[in-house]
Structure 1
Amino acid sequence: MGSRRQSAGPAPAGRRRLPLLLVEAATLLSGIGNGVATVALPWLVLERTGSPTAAGIVAAATALPLLISSLFSGTVVDLIGRKRTSIFSDAFSALSVAAIPILDATVGLNIGAIVALAVLGAVFDPAGLTARETLLPAAAQAAGWRIERANSIHEAVWGAAFLIGPGVGGVLIAAIGPERTLWVTASGFVLSIVLVAAVRLPGAGRPEQRPAGIWRGTVEGLAFVWRDRLLRTIALLTMALVALYLPAEGVVLPAYFVEQGAPSRLGTIVMAMSAGGIVGALLYGGLGPRIRRRTAFVVALIGTGIALVGLAALPPYPAMIVLAAATGLMYGPINPLANYAMQTRTPEHLRGRVVGVMTSSAYAAGPAGYLLAGPLVEWLGVRPAFLVLAVVLLVVALAAIPLPALRALDEPPAYPPAPIGAAPLDEGPVPLGEQWISSARRDQPDDD
């Protein structure tokens, strides 16, 4: 195998970039499909029942399963493989949304069936997201890209999908109705399956080292994250950030614009935050090699806090748009940097579990923040509650400055990617997969 690696030269440019293009195109289609479904399903329920409560039940049904399934999603990826997991995830999504118009046209549709199908479609989404994310290092290596650049593009694509999806959903509902919109959504998931099936990368197929089971594998992932000081620190910081950031978008700003009698402005503010996040991720992809990763991470945290404090002052609407965009812009580099830490400090056979654990911590933090923000707004009012959330976020960001664990972001990768051209473009199994593991570091994280 050593001679094979030595003799393998870089693949032609078109072929080398194709796996990355396929992964990102599938990510875009799957994300847009989920974004469309978040609009189409509540709309369909409101159209049929006229009940906002019923629409809320459907929305909750698509969100609550993520709290549990995201924790085990990485173990599923490490157990059955990255491509298979991504394909199965999109297949369940396609089946769930296609089944709704089928049932409607045959035996009839009720709220219970919609809830059950919404759960079926949502419960495997974290596994698909994790699977595509774990393909990134090999795809970047095949394309000759730095992993930071691939991470930035990936986060920008994901953000763009959820920026585009709800808008596309609204347009399709108006043009062809919610039932036909769901058929279009199912077609997008099917196309995502086709794209992922065409991916040829080391480590994409059947895993060489599988976890002993769902529960034991998940515990191994949790233990690895907790023992590694950098991953543990990033997980805790991200949880705090999500718990304070998401309620601003999902609770406080809606309450403010309802009070102002201008709910239509909410969409513009949320879009400005999302667009800023896309630009921020892309900018980091271009500027990343010129700045230290720890510096970029801390500046992003502090910048997010400062911009959010400005937004929390609830200035005139034009200024709010600018500050919302600035908040997203500063937030943009955080996820690519967190991805980099997971990819370079985790052995390949554990990567799915580590990504799943880190993702589940963010999923859990969001609802916790919502539960905090609602009573806070009722107790203090919109502006004071918003300022409390923003100031606490800024304090958390400032507290990250002296943390020694973040210095590890600039250390040499514990599990670096294989040299360009060193790994064959098949889907394995190959020893070491896409990673080139030093003799000083195997499966144990740093505890210093």
Structure 2
Amino acid sequence: MTDRKEISFKSLLSEQQYLKNLAGATITRFGDGIDTIAFAWLIYEITGSKSLLAITFGVSGLPNLIFGMFSGVITSYFPKKNTIFLCDILRGSLALTISILYFSGNVTTFHILLVTFLNSTLESFRHPPSISIMPLILKEEKIDLGLSFNASLTNASQVLGIAISPILLSVFGIGGALIIDSITFFICGIIVFSLKYKDDFVNSKKLTLKSGISDFKDGFKVLLGSKFFINLCIFAAIVNALFVPISSFSPAYVADLGLGPEGISILETPLLIAMTVFALFVPKLKSKFGGKNIFILGGFVLGAVYCFFSVIHYFNFPEIYVLLALGGFIMGGALITINIPIQIAITTKIDKEYLMRLTSILGSLTQGVTPIAAFILGGVVEFITIEQLFLIFGVITSIIFLLQIFNKNLDELN
């Protein structure tokens, strides 16, 4: 095996199929950047309710709770690129549908909730093959660099989408921005469908209820046989719940600061810039300080930024712009140091035969708490301010991550 120390990002240029997959991901993340602003503002414009923001976010997490546990098993019976292609085409069609409804003046809260649910359902079936396809198009010794470069470039693309989305919204409106988003899904699906690789892990058995349950049990046994993945699963579920406030209340939060759609852009753009930059250095940081240490540090900083966001409203303009952007940048760096060690561990430590099944099981267990937390917070936010919620969750997040210093089972992140 090639020595990892001799491998540089330049070596990825020879991985043609990886680069094609990267191009598709980069294009669709550009659309995600536009969607981040356009759809969030559409929800707030139509509902005008902080509670419904949380409920909508909760609905987006329901598919993982309902289908996520079995999506990896089901998709393991079909070619990975075919599944990704179908999901992308359907997701693009949903974005196009909601834009048509918006232009016609017929979009309602029900349409938003329905499209949110369907889009997340497709994402729950797309995620396992998109993760498990990486080891098939990239050599094992390049996985660390490949995942880091993928995170960096796709985040940079999302930054671009977020940065220009206020311009697109002012020129084309929410409906026009969503049409552009739909086009990026279509392009990504076509690119992924053109990938060429040898896939020896498509289940050759006929998909039946009995075979599906049997495969699910096999995958679950592998999960239960690893203390590392059990710990990672429990811990990730807690963290996902703790991250719900910033994910679901950002439109209302920036509105409370006296900002419009540009407020989300001011927050999200530096966040993604930081993720773009820090992603390039995570492999070196992981090698020097250990994956577990940067993981814990990232979590502690994430909690600290939560607390920081809880006091920004005490400042005036233009300080608010600067502080919001600064908080977003620090949060982006924290998130990437949490996520990449986990992605590397999942991709390299799970046997390729079980990767799709375990990815979906882990995703369902860790993200299933999100809709529950969102629905609860939708009621809580009626009694306390978003800033108070941020402070509470910030303190809890930092404490939980610091306690992982004593969790020996997470040593495998190194």
Judge same fold: TM > 0.5, yes or no. yes
Give 1:232 shift.
1.4
- Report the Cα distance in structure 2 between the residues aligned to 1:182 and 1:398, rounded to whole angstroms: 40
Shift of 1:89: 0.8
1:20 alignment partner in structure 2: 18
SS at match of 2:353: helix
Partner SS state of residue 201, structure 1:
coil
Q: How big is the shift at 1:245?
A: 2.4
- The match for 2:404 among 400, 403, 415 is 400
| Residue in 1 that maps onto 2:144 | 148
2:364 corresponds to which residue?
A: 360
Residue 129 of structure 2 aligns with an amino acid whose one-letter code is A
Using a 3 Å threshold, how does the CA distance of structure 1 residues 114 and 81 change in structure 2: closer, same or farther? Answer: same
AA aligned opposite 1:349: E
Contact 2:80–2:129 under 8 Å retained in 1: yes
Q: Distance in 1 between matches of 2:112 and 2:398?
A: 41
Q: Which residue is 1:191 aligned to? A: 187
Q: 1:205 Cα shift?
A: 7.5
Aligned to 1:261: 258
Match of 1:233 in 2: 231
When Rg is computed on C-alpha atoms for both structures, the one with the higher figure is 1
- Please tell me whether residue 125 in structure 1 is matched to residue 119 in structure 2: no
Q: What is the CA–CA distance in structure 1 between the aligned matches of 2:334 and 2:75, rounded to whole Å?
A: 31
Change (3 A) 1:356 1:278: farther
In the alignment, what sits opposite 2:6?
none
Taking the aligned partners of 2:396 and 2:382, their CA distance within structure 1 comes to 18
Aligned twin of 2:287:
289
Displacement of 1:115 after TM fit?
A: 5.9
Q: Alpha carbons of 1:262 and 1:336: their partners in 2 closer, same or farther (altered >3 Å)?
A: same
TM-score by length of 1: 0.72
Distance 1:328 1:19, change over 3 A: same
Counterparts of 1:103 and 1:326, CA distance in 2: 38
Return the offset for 1:338.
Answer: 1.0
Say which of 323, 326, 329 aligns to 2:327: 323
Which amino acid is the alignment partner of residue 185 of structure 1?
Answer: D
User: Could you tell me whether the CA contact under 8 Å between 1:78 and 1:349 is conserved in 2?
Assistant: no
Structure 1, residues 248-274: CA drift from partner, whole Å, max 9, x if none? Answer: 3433x6555444434554542343333
Counterparts in 2 of 1:14-413, with a 5 A limit?
16-37=14-35, 52=48, 64-99=62-97, 111=108, 119-141=117-139, 146-166=142-162, 168-179=164-175, 181-203=177-199, 206-207=202-203, 213-251=211-249, 257-262=254-259, 265-314=263-312, 316=315, 317=320, 318-374=322-378, 376-410=380-414
CA distance in 1, matches of 2:394, 2:150: 27
Question: What's the offset of the Cα at 1:226?
Answer: 3.3
Q: Distance in 1 between matches of 2:174 and 2:308?
A: 39
Q: Tell me the distance in 1 between the aligned counterparts of 2:382 and 2:95.
A: 37
Contact 2:72/2:356 (8 A) holds in 1: yes
Q: Which runs of 5+ in 1 are unaligned?
A: 1-12, 411-448
Partner Cα separation in structure 2 for residue 282 and residue 158 of structure 1 = 12
Distance 1:99 1:257 in 2: 28
Identity of aligned residues (%): 17
Identify which of structures 1 and 2 has the higher relative contact order when contacts are C-alpha pairs closer than 8 Å and 6+ apart.
2
Q: Distance in 1 between matches of 2:30 and 2:367?
A: 19
Q: SS state of the match for residue 332, structure 1?
A: helix
Aligned to 1:443: none
Task: Specify whether residues 281 and 42 from structure 1 end up closer, same or farther in structure 2 by C-alpha distance, changes over 3 A only.
Answer: closer
Q: Which deviates the most, 302-311 or 343-352?
A: 302-311
Structure 1 stretch displaced more, 161-170 or 387-396:
161-170
Instruction: Measure how far apart 1:38 and its partner are.
Output: 5.6
Taking a change above 3 Å as real, the CA distance of residues 103 and 393 of structure 1, as seen in their structure-2 partners, is closer
Decide which moves more: 291-300 or 384-393.
Answer: 291-300
The one-letter code matched in structure 2 to 1:134 is: S
Q: Which is further off, 359-368 or 96-105?
A: 96-105
Kindly state the Cα deviation for residue 168 of structure 1 after the two structures are TM-superposed: 5.0
CA distance in 2, matches of 1:103, 1:270: 27
Contact kept, 8 Å, 1:86 with 1:128, in 2: the verdict is yes
| CA drift at 1:283 | 2.0
Letter in 2 for 1:340: I
Distance 1:288 1:115 in 2: 40
CA distance in 1, matches of 2:33, 2:410: 34
Output the amino acid matched with 1:192: C
* Residues 130-171 of structure 1 deviation map (CA, whole Å, 9 limit, x = unaligned): 322212223330xx7532222222333454454444555554
Question: TM-score, length-normalised on structure 2?
Answer: 0.78
Counterpart residue identity of residue 232, structure 2: I
Q: d(CA) in 2 for partners of 1:41 and 1:258?
A: 15
Of 294-303 and 255-264, deviating more is 255-264
Shift of the 148–267 alpha-carbon distance from structure 1 to 2, 3 Å rule, reads same
How many pairs were matched up? 391
Task: Give the AA of the match of 1:294.
Answer: K
Amino acid of the residue matched to residue 194 of structure 1? I
Task: State the alpha-carbon separation in 2 of the partners of residues 148 and 223 from structure 1.
Answer: 27
Structure having the larger proportion of residues in helix = 2
Structure 2 CA distance for aligned equivalents of residues 353 and 376 of structure 1: 35
> CA 1:371–1:140 in 2, change beyond 3 Å: closer, same or farther?
same
2: CA distance between counterparts of 1:254 and 1:172? 18
